[in-house]
Structure 1
Amino acid sequence: MLNRKSTFVLFGLFLMATSIFGQDVFISNTENRNFTSLNGKWKFVLDPFQTGGMGGMPVYKNYQPKDKSDRVEYGFDNGKNLWVPGSWNIQYPELTYFEGNVWYRKTFDKPDRTEGKRYFVHIGAANYKTTVSFNGEILGHHEGGFTPFSFEVTDLLKEKDNFLIVGVDNARAADNIPSKVSDWFNHGGITRDVKLIEVPSTFINNYFLSLDKSTLKQRSKTIQGKLELVGENRPKTARILIPELKLNQEFEVNADGPTEFSINTKGLELWSPKNPKLYEVTLVAGNDTIGDQIGFRTIEAIGKQIVLNGEPIFLKGICLHDENPLRKDRANSIEDAELVLGWAQELGCNFLRLAHYPHQEKIVRLADKLGILLWEELPLYWGIQWDNPEVLEKAKKQYAEMINRDYNRASTIIWSIANETASIPDRNAFLGELADYIRSMDDTRLLSAAIKKDQELDGHPDSVYTYNDPLIEKLDIISLNEYLGWYGGAPEETRGKSFEFGFEKPVIVSEFGGGALQGYYADKQTRWSEEFQEHLYKESLAMFDKIDGLSGMAPWILVDFMSPLRQLPDVQDGWNRKGLISEKGQKKKAFFVLQDYYKKK
Structure 2
Amino acid sequence: MMLYPQTNQIRSEISLDGFWKFAKDEDNQGETMGFQYSIPSDREIAVPASWNEQHQDLVHFFHTGWYEKEVIIPHLYKNHQIMLRVGGANYYSRVWFNGNLVGEHEGGHLPFSFDITDFIDWDVPNKVIISVDVRIKPDSLPAGEVESEHIIQKNGFKGQFPRNYYDFFPYGGINRPVSLVVLPKTHIEDVTVVTDIIDDSVGMVDFNVTLNQPFTGSVSVMIENKVEEFFLNNQLSLNGRLTIKDAKFWSMDNPHLYPLTIALSQNGEKIDQYTLKIGIRTIAFDGDKLLLNGEPIFLRGVGLHEDFAVLGKGMHPAIIVKDLNLLDWLGGNSLRTSHYPYSDEFLNYADENGILVIGETPFVGFVESHYNSTMEEKAHRVISEMIQRDKNHPSIIAWSLANEGNTFVPKADGFYKSLYDHAKSLDQSRPITIVNCLDVEGDVALKHFDFVCINRYYGWYTQPGLLDEACEILNNQLDLCHELFGKPVMVTEFGADAVAGMHMDPPELFSEEYQAEMITRQYQIIRSKSYTIGAHIWVLSDFKTSQNAKRVILNRKGLFTRERQPKLAAHEIKKVWKLEEK
* 539-548 or 157-166, which deviates more: 539-548
Q: Any conservation in 1 of the 2:516–2:568 contact (CA below 8 Å)? A: yes
Q: Pairwise mapping of residues 211-360 of structure 1 onto structure 2 (< 5 A)?
A: 211-212=195-196, 215-217=197-199, 219-231=201-213, 233-243=214-224, 246-253=225-232, 255=234, 258-286=237-265, 287-325=271-309, 327-360=310-343
The one-letter code of the counterpart of 2:365 is W
The one-letter code of the counterpart of 2:4 is N
The one-letter code of the counterpart of 1:445 is R
- Equivalent residue number for residue 35 of structure 2: 59
- Equivalent residue number for residue 117 of structure 1: 80
Task: Give CA-to-partner distance per residue, 1:383-414, whole Å, 9 cap, x none.
Answer: 44432322222222222222122111100101
- Equivalent residue number for residue 523 of structure 1: 505
The one-letter code of the counterpart of 1:493 is E
Q: Any conservation in 2 of the 1:236–1:252 contact (CA below 8 Å)? A: yes
C-alpha distance in 2, partners of 1:247/1:599? 40
Task: Give CA-to-partner distance per residue, 1:94-126, whole Å, 9 cap, x none.
Answer: 100110101111111113523421000000000
Matched residue of 1:57: which SS?
A: coil
Cα 1:492/1:331, change in 2 over 3 Å:
farther
Task: Give CA-to-partner distance per residue, 1:190-214, whole Å, 9 cap, x none.
Answer: 11000000001011121011213xx
Q: Any conservation in 1 of the 2:193–2:205 contact (CA below 8 Å)? A: yes
Matched residue of 1:307: which SS?
A: strand
Task: Give CA-to-partner distance per residue, 1:157-204, whole Å, 9 cap, x none.
Answer: 112120010000111110111000221111111110000000010111
Q: Any conservation in 1 of the 2:399–2:431 contact (CA below 8 Å)? A: yes
- Equivalent residue number for residue 477 of structure 1: 451
* 34-43 or 583-592, which deviates more: 583-592
The normalised TM-score by structure 1 is 0.86
C-alpha distance in 2, partners of 1:324/1:30? 26
Q: Pairwise mapping of residues 162-561 of structure 1 onto structure 2 (< 5 A)?
A: 162-180=126-144, 181-212=165-196, 215-217=197-199, 219-231=201-213, 233-243=214-224, 246-253=225-232, 255=234, 258-286=237-265, 287-325=271-309, 327-384=310-367, 385-423=369-407, 424-453=409-438, 456=439, 469-489=443-463, 490-497=466-473, 498=476, 499-500=479-480, 501=482, 502-561=484-543
Task: Give CA-to-partner distance per residue, 1:509-536, whole Å, 9 cap, x none.
Answer: 1000010001111124421111111121
C-alpha distance in 2, partners of 1:413/1:218? 19
Give 5+ residue unaligned stretches, structure 1: 1-25, 63-73, 457-465
- Shift in Å at residue 219 of structure 1? 4.4
The root-mean-square deviation of aligned C-alpha atoms, in Å, is 1.9
C-alpha distance in 1, partners of 2:232/2:433? 35
C-alpha distance in 2, partners of 1:114/1:247? 33
- Equivalent residue number for residue 162 of structure 2: none
Task: Give CA-to-partner distance per residue, 1:450-500, whole Å, 9 cap, x none.
Answer: 1245xx3xxxxxxxxx65734233222211111000011122213423222
The one-letter code of the counterpart of 1:487 is Y
Matched residue of 1:410: which SS?
A: coil
Matched residue of 1:401: which SS?
A: helix
Equivalent position to 2:12, from 34, 57, 66: 34
The one-letter code of the counterpart of 1:98 is F
1:586 and 2:565 are equivalent in the alignment: yes
The one-letter code of the counterpart of 2:337 is L
* 217-226 or 413-422, which deviates more: 217-226
- Shift in Å at residue 248 of structure 1? 0.9
Give 5+ residue unaligned stretches, structure 2: 145-164, 266-270
- Shift in Å at residue 51 of structure 1? 1.3
Equivalent position to 2:101, from 135, 138, 147: 138
C-alpha distance in 2, partners of 1:441/1:279? 24
The normalised TM-score by structure 2 is 0.89
Task: Give CA-to-partner distance per residue, 1:221-245, whole Å, 9 cap, x none.
Answer: 32111112113x51344221112xx
C-alpha distance in 1, partners of 2:80/2:505? 67
C-alpha distance in 1, partners of 2:232/2:365? 44
Matched residue of 1:280: which SS?
A: strand
Cα 1:111/1:187, change in 2 over 3 Å:
farther
Task: Give CA-to-partner distance per residue, 1:31-79, whole Å, 9 cap, x none.
Answer: 45511001111112211111133xx5321122xxxxxxxxxxx624xx2
